[in-house]
Structure 1
């Protein structure tokens, strides 16, 4: 199951066809869109990466203007990563492309009964992701 979910995740992320950023960077942008400012350490922990690896992943996003650093309003010593307007647009466009790809795949390759089965399975998988 883990292998299949991993392959599906890569295919869905790849559906946005972002030639200028990696799948890891797409994942970072998506996480930042869902959270209001996080540290590199927080991102690294959520992605299961080392801090140094996440710093290398984030650097091109900063350089391209998709992400920026801001001082934490509650602790001025901490720097938070936030999406820029360009980064937010990128996330919205990517989500739309991925949603269209997945809907197309389900329509093209699955029967109505299989689509219902996928929806039922998603309910169970969603329950597994809750803390």
Structure 2
């Protein structure tokens, strides 16, 4: 598969998306992260919520971090009651990490708060036509990230 040289417009779009998503992520956190979780803790909890139970080594591989980092984050999430750890039925030396009911509640309330804030901000600052453009742009970005 050959890849074409990115156009100037594509480079500008990539930068705008990167910067915009970073700002949007920070604003989401301002509006929902009441548990004062770190970004990596939030990422692990979200991954577990999306993909289901996993071992610390599986989480480390998926997140591209050291197992020790994941172990510290999992311990913090467990301490807050957001995950549970159980012995792996296939390998008693490993633990399987699962989102707890409190963790599911946290994820749901975070999503609801974040989406509520964003919907209000979009309504306040954009026209209906501009909101439709955002929906179209997100569909295009989804097409870019599909494999």
Q: TM above 0.5, one fold?
A: yes
- Return the TM-score normalized by structure 1: 0.85
- Once the two structures are superposed, the pairs formed by residues 81-96 of structure 1 within 5 Å of their partners are 81-96=97-112
Aligned mate of 1:6, from 22, 25, 36: 22
Retained in 2: the 8 A contact 1:37–1:82?
A: yes
Cα distance in structure 2, aligned partners of 1:86 and 1:50: 26
Contact 1:38–1:80 (8 Å) recurs in 2 = yes
Alignment match, 1:72: 88
- The two structures, once aligned, show a CA RMSD in angstroms of 1.9
TM-score by length of 2: 0.77
Please tell me whether Structure 1 or Structure 2 has the larger radius of gyration of its CA atoms: 2
Aligned residues: 131
1:104 corresponds in structure 2 to 120
**Which protein, 1 or 2, shows the higher relative CO under an 8 Å CA cutoff with sep ≥ 6?**
1
- Give the gaps of 5 or more residues in structure 1: none
Q: In the alignment, does 2:69 pair up with 1:53?
A: yes
Distance in structure 1 (CA, Å) of the matches to 2:84 and 2:58: 15
Contact map agreement 1:14 1:23 (CA 8 A) in 2? no
Which segment is superposed worse, 116-125 or 49-58? 49-58
Shift of 1:97: 0.7
Moved more, 10-19 or 101-110: 10-19
